A and B are shown apart, each in its own frame.
Chain A
């Protein structure tokens, strides 16, 4: 069952304390329907002074509001054990975050949630090169160190994508978008994130600028990042391993985890230069190897709106379940093309994956 996290608040202009009346209406309704849900209180408090014209909420006040939320949720059988996510802040530099945590906010949240975008893509900002840039990819490492410094776990990325402002037009929803997605998935898992919520599943095609980074296009059909998400979901397990290489290269981004639902491990990542890449894994050279290589749908055009898996078009028939993946059985060392996103499953029989 998909569980739903809802951002919610209503701040009145008469007082800076959260008025829970409308939330209670929502909880009454949702619980009467038996909807299992988890909850957030407000979105990106650093923006409140702008959104609510001068309302200045301190972290301490917000902590009190979360205490009220938690107390209210306890009165519902269905929600007394729901997760409460906070602060849903826009980054890790907001003064509200340490204020909130030091004021006892830690007692009321199940996970500390922040948002991340590599840069602002609104109003036509962002170029293809920004999506192939190791320095931009590495900036997320500093973000995670700051996130770790709050000393609160679990950590969630409650809203995250390549570029804010709805995404970089004609890039964030294309094959190249995957380079600012897959790398973050790998780094986030390695550096402490428990849940990574990709902004957004759909919503393209509207008049408002939040639809350039959706995983489904305006016809609700898969963009390349949908297939990247699907492949990731089917192959990558929950145990994270450390990866090292014999030479450093910031353009080679590699991550590893247990293989989902099977023995073995999956080595995944991306290569963002114009050369071919040859990878060997000496400790596993005698194991069966299955490759899942995602490349742009139109060869040579990294801004393709479609992608290919192991050099084949990925098709989905509407109304039918999404078909099982099939990878290419091969052996080490593996040669990969320039600008590629890949998953290499090592060490078990890969004739069928679920």
Chain B
């Protein structure tokens, strides 16, 4: 006599991954600057008249990222010479 063994397979479709998360708030690791997320402007932009940078246009966008540092630097910084020349846009004013 054959005994039929019915094996029921439970298929678990791995459509989602489940994780339990633990955050250790009792011992903080460290603190960062309130300007942690900052931005740069590459000095190379100066070679192309700052690629159409319009300060008043981006003021609201820049302000929304404050407080922050703006780092003006890059490879070309090593070759830049400052010249005060009122006919060129050499000066910057930052609003925040």
Contact = CB atoms under 8 A, between A and B. Distances in A.
Contacts of A282: 20, 22
Contacts of B41: 200-203
Nearest to A2: B94
Interface residues of A, number: 100
A5 B48 CA distance: 20
Interface string B51-69: 1111001101111111111
Nearest to B68: A2
Nearest to A280: B20
B39 A201 contact: yes
A305 to B, nearest CB: 16
Interface of B is mostly: mixed
B78 interface: yes
Interface string A33-60: 1010010101110011001100000000
Nearest to B20: A246
Contact of A322 (B24, B30, B60): B60
Interface in B12-54: 14-25, 27-45, 47-48, 50-54
Interface string A68-95: 0000000000000000000010000000
B21 A232 contact: no
A222 B36 CA distance: 20
A189 interface: yes
Contacts of A244: 21-22, 24
B21 A267 contact: yes
A2 B93 CA distance: 9
A222 B72 CA distance: 20
A315 interface: no
Contact of B36 (A22, A195, A321): A195
Given A238-B31, A241-B28, A281 B21 contact: yes
A7 interface: yes
B23 A256 contact: yes
Interface stretch (A8-16, A119-127, A136-144): A8-16
A326 B29 CA distance: 29
Contacts of A218: 51-52
A226 to B, nearest CB: 7
Nearest to B81: A22
Contacts of A199: 39-40, 42, 74
B51 A202 contact: yes
Interface of A: 1-11, 22-23, 25-26, 29, 33, 35, 38, 40, 42-44, 47-48, 51-52, 88, 154, 158-159, 185, 189-190, 192-208, 210-211, 215-216, 218, 220, 222, 226, 229-230, 232-233, 236, 238-247, 249, 252, 254, 256, 258, 265, 267, 273, 275-284, 316, 318-322, 333, 335
17 contacts: A2-B94, A159-B73, A190-B29, A192-B30, A194-B33, A197-B40, A201-B39, A201-B41, A206-B51, A208-B48, A240-B30, A245-B19, A273-B17, A281-B22, A316-B60, A322-B61, A335-B16
Interface of B: 14-25, 27-45, 47-48, 50-54, 57-58, 60-75, 77-82, 84, 91-92, 94-96
